[in-house]
Structure 1
Amino acid sequence: MHTDLLLAEADALLARGRAHNAARLLAPFVGREPENVGGWQRMARARLDLGDPAEALLAAQAAWHLDPWGTESLHWLSAAHSHLGDHAEAIAAAAAACREDPGNPRLHNRLAQAQLAAGLPTDAAEGLRCVVDMAAYDADLMVTYAMALFAIGRPLSAREAVGRALAIDFGHAGARAALQAFERAMSTAIDAASLALAADEYGETLRIHPGRQPHRRPGAARSATGHVARVALLWFLAVLIGAGLLDGAGLLTVPSSLYFALLCAAGTAGCVSALAGPAR
């Protein structure tokens, strides 16, 4: 039961964008229970979210050695290889996961992402063509399909796919980021030749070359900013309340200017927290 609670807590931290806390929670756990597959899988995700693909690969490999045909282990093994630019290994792991569970859209999405990172948008688009009809409810899948379509020179179909993603989840960060990227790419397209060039250039932005850090997932920086702002807000409020209690008890004379400064600081932190969105 203790193990289940710890892994559930790690899941909650990862869902709220607090990968650092999740990694710190999981490190002693996988040290005590190195045979726990779930711990290594979550550690791989945490390390990827922290931008540390080398450590993520070590964790994913540990999970894979314990569970060589498990789709979750194969998923994170593929993701870690993609982030490091090991594209053949990434595609092979994702394809193996799809064979194990062919009806799982998340695994097909991972395979397409691995293909896009390898510079194979045609393979990604073709592979997702039938999957999106069977999993029309999956916004992540629609966004990846849209990215593949744009990279092969089909901007109208790409926009349609993004529209389907937004219809599923209007606030989907990946869909909105893709739409903005499409707008930027299309700003230079005036004829068929320039459209083809824009598509190629867009496809190149999706590639991950060995040794080059990939772009962080949409919303990651925003979540981190929101977390810092929320912590700052709590500290400012605590100081404000403490100063008020000391002032009320006659133990300390607090100037009104300090109250004003603390209120302004707390208000600023609150606004930044609200703009950054809820913890995920």
Structure 2
Amino acid sequence: MFYQGVLTKMETEFAEPIQYYLVLESDFLNMNQLLGKTITLEFIKHQCLKCGLDKPIYRQGFCKQDFFDIPQAGDWIMRPELSTAHLGKEDRDLEYEKRVQLQPHIVYLANSSNVKVGVTRKTQVPTRWIDQGAHEAIEIVEVPNRYLAGITEVALKDYVADKTNWRKMLKNDVEDENLVEWRERLKSHIPEEAQDYFIASNTETIIDFPVLNYPEKPKSLNIEKEQTFTGKLVGVKGQYLIFDDDTVFNIRSNEGLVVKFTII
């Protein structure tokens, strides 16, 4: 049995454990049901998520031309402190930027490989934490726009990490942390503009991932280079597929690639 389509990040359902779904043009795969099965992945071609053409993927699933043109890839996506829609200033498409930037955003703490600070739209909680492979997370600030969330994140980066060690996350080499204590510790470092939005009373969200075996030495699969790979699926965490030989495949970082999945 085989399935083929352009990769986009897996959809998730908050459950115990998390349910993962790979959405292709004409198929909808529950990846949890494939645990323990042998899968062959085969690279077919590129397909830019914007123009749909078979052009090399530059970043975020887009070809180079689209990456530098479309609002979905503006600098403020990765650096929310650069958001300007609250000032009525356009970056690439003001109407799009208003829709995305001028809505409630969450500044959060998540523990995946270590405690880190991050930003996401309120509607993306807890999806964002799941995508990062965090086994626990907590909201610390809820603000009305992306800019305020961004400057809060920048301020807190001096006191807590803002990156995830993907190898450590996949090995499950993590310790539980008291995120409520972390929240209180960081409160005084929140910028004055965002102090009134501090969330003083909430609890951690605990996340359980569908993993049979964690890799001891994770090695990332470059499917464009290898062209084909076969292995037994033993877990899904973050946006990674984990195979029995310690190979891992990041669906999110391979968006825009057309891949054939054969279930053996």
Larger radius of gyration: 1
Flag the structure with higher strand content.
2
Relative contact order, higher structure (CA 8 A, sep 6+): 2
Flag the structure with higher helix content.
1
TM-score over 0.5 (shorter chain)? no
The TM-score with structure 1 as length reference comes to 0.27
The TM-score with structure 2 as length reference comes to 0.28
